[in-house]
Amino acid sequence: MHLLDNESGTARLRSSEPRQGIKASRKILVEAPATVPSMDHLDELEAQSIYILREAFARLKKLALLWSLGKDSNVMIWLARKAFFGRVPFPALHVDTGKKFPEMYAFRDQYAKEWDIDLRVERCPPIDSVDPTLPPAARSAARKTEGLKLALVKHGFDGLIAGIRRDEEATRAKERVFSPRGLEGEWDVRDQPPEFWDHFNASPPQGAHLRIHPILHWTEADIWAYTRRENIPIIPLYLAKDGKRYRSLGDADITFPVASTASDIDEILAELEDTKVPERAGRALDHETEDAFERLRVAGYL
């Protein structure tokens, strides 16, 4: 372990080894600068996300965090550990299609243990049980929605923390931070309650649940800049190999790499500066029909 100064001037602990828990890292005295500079952009994002996570934990009875193993939900877990001083005080739910990349499963099993995560893995139902009128990739994603619904019924969660971002995709830009879902998990985009001044609607009707979106206001570049600053582990598939890398990770059979030479996070950030290719370009389900993604979200997809 060693200490490094970061841009904001606040000394932060960096470590190549992820820490086990709070006990191991307590009582480490840090030299504080005489004057603390104002918050930078990442500090502001982090503070807002922590506020949202703490509101969710205070106002809902049975929370779970949806851990898709991607860069966004890993940042979210990191933020939860910050919010709750080293531990994630609710389960992390992985709705498993069984078709993720092997690297993703390895990552899950390693860090669930190292981060002391209460991991719940729920398998999705067979593809036959899913709406056959959807295009193939969307149908595959809809299967995940079904898996999520089954997990909700089984555990009785009243709040699901999800790592979606406004900049990812147009329909996600419409989301609230606390987003009520109907009894079937569906999203009524036209009848969303007002949400302002960080006051959230946290009373889902009996039997329904809320989605909570603590990183809704982050961008793809923010996620990478924060991952770099905090030294958060990532799945190597995000880094370029043979001229290609994954910008977004989903099921192995419907997710494709983009052309890239970015071999570390600095290079990813430089690449994002210039690119005009959307982040989810490699996600087949977004591109089958104009409204496929919205239909999925209305039905309860993330």
Partner 1 sequence: MNMVLPSAISATPNGTTRPQVRIVIVGHVDHGKSTLVGRLLHETGSLPDGKLEMLKAVSARRGMPFEWSFLLDALQTERDQGITIDTTQIRFRTRSRDVVLIDAPGHAEFLRNMITGASQADGAVLIIDALEGVRDQTRRHGYLLHLLGIKQVAVVVNKMDRVDFSAERFGEISDEISAHLTGLGVKPSAVIPISARDGDGVAAHTPRIGWYKGPSVVEALDALEPARPAETLPLRLPVQAIYKFDDRRIVAGRIESGSLKAGDEIVIMPAGKIARIKTVESWPVTPLQGPQTAGRSVGITLDRELFIERGDVIGHVGQSPRDTRRIHARIFWLHDKPLSKGDQILIRLGTRETRASVVAIDKAVDPGALSNEETNSIARNHVGEIDISLAQPIAADPYHESPRTGRLVIEVNGRIAGGGLVLSVDAGQRAVPVDIVPVESALRADERAARYRHGGAVLWFTGLPGSGKSTLALALERRLFTNGGSPILLDGDTLRAGLNSDLGFSHADRSENIRRLAEVATHLARNGHIAIVAAVSPAASDRAAARRIADSAFREIYVATPAEICESRDPKGHYAKARAGGLPSFTGITNDYEPPAGNELTIDTSSRTVADAVDEIERMLAQTGILFEEVADLAANI
Q: Is 103 in the site for partner 1 (CB under 8 A)?
A: no
Please enumerate in sequence order all residues whose Cβ is within 8 A of that of 152, keeping only pairs 6 or more positions apart, or say none. 160, 185, 209
Rounded-to-integer distance, Cα 138 and Cα 107, Å: 26
Q: Is 219 in the site for partner 1 (CB under 8 A)?
A: yes
Residue 246 tokens read as 């994954």
Q: Contact region for partner 1 (CB under 8 A) — 36-44, 63-71, 129-137, 255-263?
A: 36-44
Residues 107-166, interacting with partner 1 (CB under 8 A): 166
Q: Is 266 in the site for partner 1 (CB under 8 A)?
A: yes
Write phi, then psi, for 98 (nearest 5 degrees): 80, 5
Nearer to partner 1, 113 or 199 (CB): 199
Rounded-to-integer distance, Cα 258 and Cα 238, Å: 10
Question: Residue 4 forms beta bridges with which residues?
Answer: 12
| Residue among 4, 5, 41, 123 that touches partner 1 (CB under 8 A) | 41
Q: What is the number of alpha carbons within 13 Å of residue 19 lying toward its C-beta?
A: 18
Write phi, then psi, for 139 (nearest 5 degrees): -65, -35
Q: What is the number of alpha carbons within 13 Å of residue 127 lying toward its C-beta?
A: 13
Q: Is 194 in the site for partner 1 (CB under 8 A)?
A: yes
Q: Contact region for partner 1 (CB under 8 A) — 19-27, 64-72, 151-159, 255-263?
A: 19-27
Inter-axis angle of helices 220-230 and 265-274, nearest 10: 160
Q: Is 199 in the site for partner 1 (CB under 8 A)?
A: yes
| Residue among 17, 23, 128, 242 that touches partner 1 (CB under 8 A) | 23
Q: What is the number of alpha carbons within 13 Å of residue 223 lying toward its C-beta?
A: 29
Residue window 230-259: x/- pattern of binding to partner 1, with contact defined by CB under 8 A: ------------------------------
Residue window 61-90: x/- pattern of binding to partner 1, with contact defined by CB under 8 A: --------------------xxxxxxx-x-
Please enumerate in sequence order all residues whose Cβ is within 8 A of that of 269, keeping only pairs 6 or more positions apart, or say none. 221, 224, 225, 228
Contact (Cβ atoms closer than 8 angstroms) between residue 114 and residue 108: no
Q: Is 8 in the site for partner 1 (CB under 8 A)?
A: no
- Nearest distance in Å: CB 125, partner 1: 27
End-to-end alpha-carbon separation of the chain, Å? 37
| Residue among 2, 27, 61, 102 that touches partner 1 (CB under 8 A) | 27
Q: Where are the beta strands (DSSP E) in 82-189?
A: 92-96, 119-123, 159-161, 178-180
Give the interface size with partner 1 as a residue count (CB under 8 A).
86
Q: Is 4 in the site for partner 1 (CB under 8 A)?
A: no
Q: Contact region for partner 1 (CB under 8 A) — 27-35, 148-156, 235-243, 256-264?
A: 27-35
| Residue among 99, 119, 182, 192 that touches partner 1 (CB under 8 A) | 192
Q: Contact region for partner 1 (CB under 8 A) — 68-76, 121-129, 217-225, 238-246?
A: 217-225
Nearer to partner 1, 106 or 183 (CB): 183
